[in-house]
Amino acid sequence: MQAKALIAAALFSLLPSASHATNLMYMPFETVLSDAIRAGRLDGSVKFYLIGNGPLGTQRMLQRGVVSDLKTNGFNKSDHDSCEWVLQSNLIALQAQAKRVGANAVTNIVSYYDQHVRKDLNTYECRAGVFVTRVALKGDLVRLP
């Protein structure tokens, strides 16, 4: 029995890693943000702005370059659903970080997968795999008037 397990493990290790994200997707940011607020996962006290969509006027920078890089279980979920879920998880984490420092907005949000910046006015980058789905974001915590 132990020999069979070792053989199975050896064969599995020769396959491309199923845990690595294989599907690169660009998903609409505002839709997921609105859904998270509507569902009560975000309380609306912190505003989120992708780079290029920031608010006009004065802002007080509290923390620059804050990163949230979370994963979720992608097993038995559609890529679309798991991408939306992990974005919401990142937004919840950023909201908590913002509140801790007294910020009421996260601005200049970019996708930050493996420390590679991707700027877009409307979408975020999601990597979905068989077992793991991952979204990484980077932004600035600011205080708006």
Is residue 111 in a domain?
A: yes
Question: What is the per-residue pLDDT for 3?
Answer: 55
Is residue 8 in a domain?
A: no
* Rounded CA separation 85/87 (Å): 5
Is residue 99 in a domain?
A: yes
Instruction: Report DSSP state, residue 13.
Output: H
- Count of structural domains, the chain: 1
CATH number of the structural domain spanning residue 75? 3.30.110.70
* Rounded CA separation 18/15 (Å): 8
Question: What is the per-residue pLDDT for 11?
Answer: 41
Question: What is the per-residue pLDDT for 2?
Answer: 62
Structure pTM? 0.84
The boundaries of the domain holding residue 54 are 18-143
Burial of 65 (0-12, 13-18, 19+ CB in 10 A): exposed
Is residue 60 in a domain?
A: yes
Is residue 9 in a domain?
A: no
pLDDT tens, the chain, 145 aa long: 565 544 544 444 444 444 455 799 999 999 999 999 999 999 999 999 999 999 999 999 999 999 999 999 988 889 999 999 999 999 999 999 999 999 999 999 999 999 999 999 999 999 998 899 999 999 999 999 9
Strand-strand pairing, 47-50 and 132-143: unpaired
Question: What is the per-residue pLDDT for 76?
Answer: 87
Question: What is the per-residue pLDDT for 75?
Answer: 86
